[in-house]
């Protein structure tokens, strides 16, 4: 088709898409083209802005490697990851769900462990915590023999995949639910952490005056044949950033309640002082058991990265202040 003017462009591209024999591909790409072209028209995108957008997307890819996924980080920072989760879980978005976004730090292949074991594999500061989680179906029946992969960041703000100082697979492990649908493990009580802002996601947040903190959380991935594989996170109810999660992940169902035990003996002989416990229940739905495409597959090498914390302009009541820590 010879393009006569701007109005011919959209029709020309949509006509070409009609050639595809894959109906779902046609549906998705036709909608994407319609929305993209409308977006360009609505914003009257300039040539310089278009070049900037292309450069931004190219940088997202360039910064993505085995141990870091800038693309997934960006999807989360725009709320897309949470939106996809909420329309695909909870009976197709019609009911409450314990599902949550997967995030960019799930790493497959964490060691299989017995219930009660610790996932702390190298010295890691933090308060000891006993986590007990149960997996149930939608009728409230326990789901036994489900594989539950758990992972979380250190209190210094790094997943082990980001941090050469931590042992391989530190704060990661895979447990199998018992006949009551339960798993339990020992770890350290997580704290919030800043997402990396040395790339395009940092530009996005700075342009909005947003902070880059995630509230403290534990990640879970529940796999059981006959059920839709569920990714989830349980957030700490005492975290100051619950309402401003940079990845828009916090739902009411997933706010956990850590109980502090001051005078009760810990379940481990090496813990003499206070400790915490956390109990949480997940409800999984019938569906396909399928592991997600791993956002990362390995561990970083070299220097420990510098963490940068951005302050939310609104919270700061003044000019944005940034600080760095190592
Ligand atoms: Fe996380």
**Tens-digit pLDDT profile for the chain (326 aa)?**
899 999 899 999 999 999 999 999 999 999 999 999 999 999 999 999 999 999 999 999 999 999 999 999 999 999 999 999 999 999 999 999 999 999 999 999 999 999 999 999 999 999 999 999 999 999 999 999 999 999 999 999 999 999 999 999 999 999 999 999 999 999 999 999 999 999 999 999 999 999 999 999 999 999 999 999 999 999 999 999 999 999 999 999 999 999 999 999 999 999 999 999 999 999 999 999 999 999 999 999 888 889 999 988 755 544 444 444 43
Could you tell me the distance, in angstroms and rounded to a whole number, from the CA of residue 25 to the centre of ligand 1? 31
- Spacing, Cα 64 to ligand 1 middle (Å): 17
Q: Could you tell me the distance, in angstroms and rounded to a whole number, from the CA of residue 192 to the centre of ligand 1?
A: 9
Q: Are 320 and 209 in contact (CB under 8 A)?
A: yes
Task: Please give the pLDDT value at position 147.
Answer: 98
What is the pLDDT, as a whole number, of residue 58? Answer: 98
Q: What is the pLDDT of residue 261?
A: 97
Q: 281 by DSSP, 3-state: which? A: strand
Q: How far is the CA of 181 from the centre of ligand 1 (A)?
A: 24
- CB of 177 closer than 8 Å to CB of 144: yes
Residues with beta carbon < 5 A to ion ligand 1? 103
Of all helices (H) and strands (E), which one includes residue 258?
Answer: strand 258-261
275 φ, ψ (degrees, to nearest 5) = -150, 170
User: Residue 217 C-alpha to ligand 1 middle, in angstroms?
Assistant: 6
Concatenating the DSSP letter of every residue in 185-250 gives: EEEE----EEPP-SSHHHHHHHHHT---EEPPEEEEEEE-TTB--EEEEEEETT-TTGGG-TT---
How many angstroms separate the alpha carbon of residue 31 from the centre of ligand 1? 31
Tell me, in angstroms, the distance from the centre of ligand 1 to residue 235's CA. Answer: 10
Kindly give the distance from the C-alpha atom of residue 218 to the centroid of ligand 1, in angstroms, as a whole number: 7
Sequence-distant (6+) residues with CB within 8 A of 213 are 192, 193, 194, 195, 241, 244, 245, 246, 309
Question: What would the two tokens of residue 163 be?
Answer: 């941090």
Query: How much is the pLDDT for 312?
Result: 82
């Amino acid at each position: 088709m010879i393009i006569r003017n701007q109005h011919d462009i959209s029709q020309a591209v949509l006509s070409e898409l009609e050639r595809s024999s894959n109906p779902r591909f046609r549906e998705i790409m036709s909608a994407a083209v319609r929305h993209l072209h409308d977006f360009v028209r609505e914003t009257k995108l300039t040539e310089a802005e278009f070049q900037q957008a292309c450069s931004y997307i190219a940088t997202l890819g360039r910064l993505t490697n085995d141990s870091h996924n800038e693309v997934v980080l960006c999807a989360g920072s725009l709320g897309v990851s949470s939106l996809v989760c909420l329309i695909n879980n909870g009976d197709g978005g019609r009911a409450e769900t314990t599902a949550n976004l997967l995030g960019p730090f799930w790493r497959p292949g964490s060691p299989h462990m017995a219930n009660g074991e610790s996932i702390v594999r190298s010295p890691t500061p933090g308060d000891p915590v006993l986590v007990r989680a149960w997996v149930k179906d939608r009728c409230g029946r326990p789901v036994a023999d489900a594989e539950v992969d758990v992972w979380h960041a250190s209190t210094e703000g790094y997943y082990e995949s980001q941090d050469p100082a931590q042992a391989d697979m530190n704060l990661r492990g895979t447990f199998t639910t018992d006949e009551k649908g339960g798993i339990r493990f020992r770890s350290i009580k997580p704290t919030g952490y800043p997402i990396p802002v040395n790339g395009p996601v940092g530009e996005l947040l700075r342009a909005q005056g947003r902070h880059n903190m995630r509230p403290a959380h534990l990640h879970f991935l529940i796999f059981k044949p006959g059920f839709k594989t569920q990714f989830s996170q349980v957030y700490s109810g005492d975290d100051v950033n619950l309402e401003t999660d940079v990845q828009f992940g916090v739902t009411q169902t997933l706010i956990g309640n850590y109980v502090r035990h001051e005078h009760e003996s810990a379940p481990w002989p090496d813990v003499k002082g206070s400790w915490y416990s956390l109990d949480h229940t997940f409800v999984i739905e019938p569906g396909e058991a399928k592991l997600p495409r791993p956002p990362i597959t390995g561990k970083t090498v070299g220097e420990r990265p510098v963490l940068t914390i951005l302050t939310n302009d609104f919270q700061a009541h003044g000019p944005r202040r940034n600080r760095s820590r190592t």
